[in-house]
Structure formats: structure tokens, C-alpha cells
Amino acid sequence: MKFEVTILGSSSATPIYNRNPTSQALNINERLYLIDCGEGTQQQMLRFDVKGSRIDYIFISHLHGDHYLGLVGLLSSLHLNGRKKELGLFCPAPLKEIIDLQLKYSDTELQYELIYKFTDAQKAEVILDNSDCTVESIPLKHGIACTGFLFKEKKRLRKLIKEKLEDLKIPVEYFSALKKGADYTAPDGTVLKNETLTIDSDQPKSYAYCSDTMYDESYHQQIAGVTLLYHEATFLNNMLERANETNHTTALQAGEIALKTGAHKLLIGHFSARYKTLNELLDEARSVFPDTELAIEGKTFFIGELGEGVHSFL
């Protein structure tokens, strides 16, 4: 099952010569989820081969322009390209007014249905539940209403051990029941326990997207043990006062959050345009949490690793 995130933009507030405002494309089992949509997102999608037609859901964390100003253009392009499939939009309620106004004065009626789900920045809640994953909103502290998003894989069915089923000549019609945990009763009445024929599927993985926020421990329990934590790291810690004034986090604080929450891996982004290079930010976060990477545009991060086994599985 594919679970990976491609960085489309990693700059904060304003674009810089080699960085665009925030946007990410999350691929879960070949279903695309667009997370934030800053200015230039469409160009980045073209550059990194992220097809808009494959996006089923868009998540907007808050209404600072660097997180949504590319959205109306994207919605319009999907319309012009003939999209008919409905599109889910998870966002603060006032965004509907902004989109409606843009469409009104351009005399545009979208050819597809835009389905809104308004987020509540005051409480965590499940906002999406489909066959592949659940998505929870993460209330953040950023001056205006702002949420992050926690994506959790669904537990998969058990894996069949191919060679054992072949050796025992177990009929194909029993495979579905075995994957669901049933034992197998042979024609002579012998009962073969499920655990001798299958193994448990991989543990579900998770991805936490913590958009703009000042340091705040209120959401730490919700993201505890996450497989990959994306956290904003706008400033170096020598600018902590500025970070607090603007409701942002430093790279050092991002590392501390990953450590305290038991994250498996940390990805930092939302870098201030004042930093032409990012090595200092990376080094600062790694001084606390070594398994940290930069959200470099165009780079795809695979969330969790596949375990190695000695059998072939079905």
C-alpha cells in the first residue's frame, strides 16, 4: 500500500527564488490528498507530475494567503480541464465565501460538485473516514483559526503465506476468509490455525501535518507515536521572540516536539524567506531529534518502511 508525501512548497509568507509557499501532495493507496495550496501550487504540480485530476480531497489549514492563494486558480483549471468528479474541500468556513465571490465575479459555474467540510479549530475531530484512512483535524495555536491534519492508515487484512497454501493445496475460495482471520478445516476434519497460514499485516502508518503554530503542547498527545511528523520550523531559535510574536515555531522547538511525542521521523518546513540556505535549520532540529529531514520541494518521502520477510505473500 502506497503512503508517501511529495513536497510542492515549503516557504513561509512569501515565495523566495527557489522556494514556493506551502503545499503538499499525499498519496495513500493511489488516492491523492492535497494539503494546503499556496501561490504557484499548479506550476509545482506540473513540475513534479502531480495530476490534478487524481486529487479527491483538498485540506486547507488556515486562511493566511501562503496556504490558500493558489486554490481558486486550481479549482478553475480543474473546471476548464473538464473535471466531473466531485471534490472534497476541508477548510475554515470563511473560505467558502472567498471562493463563491471569485466564482461570482468571473461568472463561473463549476462543472463538478465542490463538497465542503468546515473544520473547527477548537477541537480535534475525525473529518474523513474512507476505505484507506481516517483524517483527524489537529487544533493549533496561530492567532487565527488553524488546524493541522492527522492521516491514519486503516489496518489491512492478514497476508497469506503463498508457499504454505500451495503445499497444502488450499482452494482459492478460502483465501478471503483466511485473510479475515478464519481457521481452515481440511476435508479430513483437520483444523489448521490461521496463524500457521498467514501473518499479520503491517502496522498502520500515520502522517501528522502540523501547519503554522507557536509552541504548544495541547496537541502532543493526539500525534503521539506518529510515523512521520511534518512540523513548521519557520525560524532558528535565536529568533524565538519573533517566533512567539508571529505564532510560529523554531527548528529547535520542532525537534523537541518530535522527541516528546515519540515521532519516528521529523520533517521540517515553512521556512522564513530570510534563510537563503537551510542547513542551519536542519542542524538545529537534529541537535535534539537526529532523524530529521528538510521538506525540500520535489522530494517524495515514503512514510514508514516495508518489513522484510522470508515468505512470499498474497
Which regions of the chain are under pLDDT 70?
305-314
Residues 116 and 256 in one domain: yes
Backbone angles phi, psi at 4, to 5 degrees: -150, 155
Main-chain phi, psi angles of 168, to 5 degrees: -85, 0
Q: Is the Cβ–Cβ distance between 31 and 2 less than 8 Å? A: no
The total number of residues shown for the chain amounts to 314
Query: Per residue in 93-149, pLDDT tens?
Result: 999 999 999 999 999 999 999 999 999 999 999 999 999 999 999 999 999 999 999
CATH number assigned to the domain comprising residue 269: 3.60.15.10
What pLDDT score does 305 carry? 58
Quote the pLDDT of residue 308: 32
Q: 78: part of which helix (H) or strand (E)? A: helix 71-80
Q: Which amino acid is at 173?
A: E
Task: Report the number of distinct structural domains present in the chain.
Answer: 2
One domain for residues 174 and 43: no
Residue 29: burial class (beta carbons within 10 Å; 0-12, 13-18, 19+): middle
Instruction: Give dist(CA 187, CA 39) in Å, integer.
Output: 65
- Say whether both 110 and 209 belong to one domain: yes
Q: Which of 36, 49, 66, 132 is catalytic?
A: 66
Asked if residue 119 and residue 174 are part of one domain, the reply reads no
> Residue 175 sits in which domain range?
159-199
Quick one: pLDDT at residue 306?
40
Mean pLDDT of the chain: 92
Contact between residue 147 and residue 121 where contact means Cβ atoms under 8 Å apart: yes
Whole-prediction pTM: 0.88
Phi/psi at 151 (nearest 5 deg)? -100, 125
- The set of residues, in sequence order, having a beta carbon less than 8 Å from that of 138 and lying 6+ positions away, is 124, 147, 148, 149, 150, 208, 209, 210, 219, 222, 223
Residue 66 among the catalytic residues: yes
Same domain, 296 and 265: yes
